Structure 1
Amino acid sequence: MRKRFLKIGIVLFSLASLGAGLSTSTTELILFRSLSGFGAAFMMPSTLSIITHMFTDPNERMKAIGLWSMIFGLSQGLGPLIGGFIIEYTSWHWVFFINLPIGVIAFVYASWILPESHNKSAKADLVGMVLCVLFLFALTYGIIEAGVKSWSDPAVQISLAIGLIVCALFVLWERRCSYAMIPFELFEKRTFTIPSFAIALIVFGMVGSMFFFSQLFQTVEGYNALEAGLLLMPMTLGIALGSLFSSNGVKRYGAPLSIGGGIIISALGMAIFVVTMDVHMPLWAILVGFLIQGFGMGISMPPSTDSIMGSIPKAKAGVGSALNDTTIQLSAAMSIAILGSYVNRIYLLHVKEIEADPTLLKALQTSIQTAHQAIASLPNVSLHENFLNLVDRAFIDGMYHTMILGCVLSVLSGILPYGSYPKTRKSQHGLLYM
């Protein structure tokens, strides 16, 4: 069934991409993007479970997961680069059309090469799925709105309260359900919980960095989409290099040092951003910072992923893969929601102090992109530079404090595996970690 679900996901994602490319309205685009996410939900959990079944030798499996992590990292960096190239030289529609030949190739190779495997006792936890979607929606909405309004706003508090209540119902249901989508007993294993937390932090930092630096490069510093994509590439290169070295690092130093050390190395990359953060950052700081941050992520992700999959019986490999992918997607969403709310709150505190007419002030408070557009439309050109400097400094200050927060969290999280990870462990498939 895993192979079948992978192929179904490829077809759904490809057809949704075709629909998105042919969209003539924002509503249509959002609808087809939602359908592409539905297709991706079929694909992603199948990948790691198929790898676990295909590679039974511990060393080979570790290498395979390392390559999986490297490709994941490459896709995160190549996406903005290829997307920037397409937008710069063709039409935005081709951002989606490019998925079609890739989907055809993936479908053919999956049909030809991959073996079929399945868990006969597996059932769909539909109630759990609905509760999970509801509480994540309410929680994410509340966090984002808190950055725009405030934590004391009634709508924010109601949204967060609903999210927490539904989350409690979700946990109660999952603990009682015999075919739960999230078996909570897995979190009693430190070899599952700690790597899951590590992956969450890795993705949290990576998505947050790319999200804010993309705005910094294109809006504040004036780079086009292609140039912004090129500036983000060192992170992708770092992830690829780290993933290649990861397998040997685990053999030599053990999983705790590889996971924790990688996270701390990633924090060093963010530390470079902290000390060089400015409206016009030096190019070396951008390139070196992203390279080091990506390298640390690449070192941490493969042993974290392998530890998660090794903590789960082979028959439930699909559950482990789904949880790993859920962790990635949830961390990405929370990164944009939480860090975006934090940056926006600091940005608004600065912008509210600017002396301007109400119409302009409202535009400045909307976002850094809207602020630049509003300033550019002012008839008095002499005011442009002053207003731009104020809003850019406000945005930079938000990013500065976010990078400090990221550094502190990364260092603390990097220390965690040393004291709480089992000193010696053998995975379900035979790989000795320490």
Structure 2
Amino acid sequence: MPYSYEKRWAGLGALCLAMSIITLDNTVLDVALPSISNDLSASMSELQWIVDIYILFFASILITIGALGDQFGRKRFLKIGIVLFSLASLGAGLSTSTAELILFRSLSGFGAAFIMPSTLSIITHMFTDSDERMKAIGLWSMIFGLSQGFGPLIGGFIIEYTSWHWVFFINLPIGLIAFVYASWVLPESHNKNAKADLVGMLLCVIFLFALTYGIIEAGVKSLSDATVQISLIIGLTVCALFIFWERRCSHAMIPFELFKKRTFTIPSFAIALIVFGMVGSMFFFSQLFQTVQGYSALQAGLLLMPMTLGVAIGSKISPNALKAYGMPLSIGGGIIISALGMVLFVFTITIHMPLWAILVGFLIQGFGMGLSMPPSTHSIMSSIPKEKAGVGSALNDTTIELSAAMSIAILGSYVNHIYLLHVKEIEAEPSLLKALQNSIQSAHQAIASLPNVAAHDHLLTLVNQAFIDGMYHTMIVGCLLSILSGSLAIWLLPNNAQEPKQ
């Protein structure tokens, strides 16, 4: 029996640990954003960039790194990624300005691009039995969701007892353990027949970088901005050239026939939507809890924990649900259930939002995510030829990261737009008004310095309500989109995913 098969479950543990560094990092950061804003005087757009620059670099090179990993060794690329990510985390933790932090966050995204596609592609090679693979992917998905959910709690502990710098330093011991563990237990795998598609790789990096940058800037600015338009035009043009080249290249790195399979495209869209909702929720609710409602960072992390519990429960029962109800209901139903959590938020969100609504809403949202993510991931990976596992995994990961980027950029700009519409109606001195418009954290700091207590309370109510109104309208859009997408998944998906080609 080959080495990779004997230690496949231990190997899964190493892959989940390596993957958790990436997912934990972003959600730990969410709780730290108010502290970073206060310490570094970061505006709302700078907070978006601290999150999104990571995604920009991550998403733009994922497919290329996935293809190179298929050729030169997936385990090798995983270990390179762990080292790069850990060093970048060290730099981020030592940052003393938003510019430095944004720089090291971009380098973290570069390292993460080596890690993420390697995890699923190695799982596909280690687990040859379909039922075992489904269980392995279910565990991978559960760890993905749990690390996302535990991030705010860990971040809350860190902010409560140390400083925001330690949300990055925590990656160093985890990275060291993951590197040693992966070196010991994981087998190396690669496609010996792979050839480097250098032209395709270059075009892929350019068009993904340009499109991702355009999406993010459109959220910060608008679609009418010249920079945004130029970036999107370049991205779409190079994307067309990329497709033209790949369809004619004898050793193309992307199997375009995958996009003809409903078992690949629809679950990819489903996962993107799940991530869209999760990332957006954590980004805004962490600020709502700490800045508007006055909870500590630790308390904010605890309030987000029901999402983690929901993900764990949903992921646990997901394999049985898939067998009992089929793929369409498992994926589409999970998305709709997740949307019901947001529906509860729509009807209950206020400055003094009831605790029961927060806990129940996140529990329902997490349960839907946990229910739909494992069958979605299994369907995607089962649609991919094994020799293209790295590229296929990277395509899936790219969809996830672009969705996260759009969540922060689009939802962030929408909330900020509504917030600014309300704030601009406030009668105040120009210097105070500028501080109110900068961010909700900046507004609270400026108001706290006012000598007039009566004006203090009145202004706090106005800016808090402006922020909540932005979240309210954003969640309505998210609910409608999720319910529609879940319904389409139920309608369009075949009942069973096909097995991967050998």
TM-score (norm 2): 0.81
Alignment of 1:297-336 (within 5 A): 297-336=369-408
Cα separation, 1, equivalents of 2:456 and 2:264: 53
Aligned-residue CA RMSD (Å): 1.7
Counterpart pick for 1:75 among 121, 138, 147: 147
Cα separation, 1, equivalents of 2:167 and 2:287: 19
> Comparing 113-122 with 220-229, which one deviates more in the overlay?
113-122
Q: Deviations over 1:329-352 (max 9, x none)?
A: 111111000111111111112222
Alignment of 1:9-408 (within 5 A): 9-120=81-192, 121-123=194-196, 125-146=201-222, 152=224, 156-177=225-246, 178=249, 180=252, 182-408=254-480
Cα separation, 2, equivalents of 1:193 and 1:364: 43
> Comparing 420-429 with 204-213, which one deviates more in the overlay?
420-429
Question: What secondary structure does 1:107 align onto?
Answer: helix
* Aligned-residue offset at 1:370: 1.4
Cα separation, 1, equivalents of 2:195 and 2:116: 17
Q: Deviations over 1:233-280 (max 9, x none)?
A: 111111111111111111111111100000000011001101101011
Give, as a single letter, the amino acid of the residue that structure 1 aligns with 2:361. Answer: G
Q: Which residue pairs with 2:46 in the alignment?
A: none
* Aligned-residue offset at 1:97: 2.1
* Aligned-residue offset at 1:122: 4.7
Question: What secondary structure does 1:254 align onto?
Answer: helix
Cα separation, 1, equivalents of 2:176 and 2:387: 29
The change in CA–CA distance for 1:223 and 1:249 in structure 2 (over 3 A counts) is same
TM-score (norm 1): 0.93
Q: Deviations over 1:285-304 (max 9, x none)?
A: 00000000000001111111
Give, as a single letter, the amino acid of the residue that structure 2 aligns with 1:162. Answer: S
Give, as a single letter, the amino acid of the residue that structure 2 aligns with 1:166. Answer: G
Kept after mapping to 2: 8 A contact 1:73/1:239: yes
Q: Deviations over 1:76-98 (max 9, x none)?
A: 12222112211211233322222
Cα separation, 2, equivalents of 1:408 and 1:293: 14
Kept after mapping to 2: 8 A contact 1:311/1:428: yes
> Comparing 121-130 with 308-317, which one deviates more in the overlay?
121-130
The change in CA–CA distance for 1:85 and 1:296 in structure 2 (over 3 A counts) is same
Return 5+ residue gaps in structure 1 as ranges: none
Cα separation, 2, equivalents of 1:420 and 1:27: 45
> Comparing 409-418 with 347-356, which one deviates more in the overlay?
347-356
The change in CA–CA distance for 1:175 and 1:295 in structure 2 (over 3 A counts) is farther
Kept after mapping to 1: 8 A contact 2:333/2:372: yes
Give, as a single letter, the amino acid of the residue that structure 1 aligns with 2:239. Answer: F
Q: Deviations over 1:328-384 (max 9, x none)?
A: 111111100011111111111222222222222222222211111111112212101
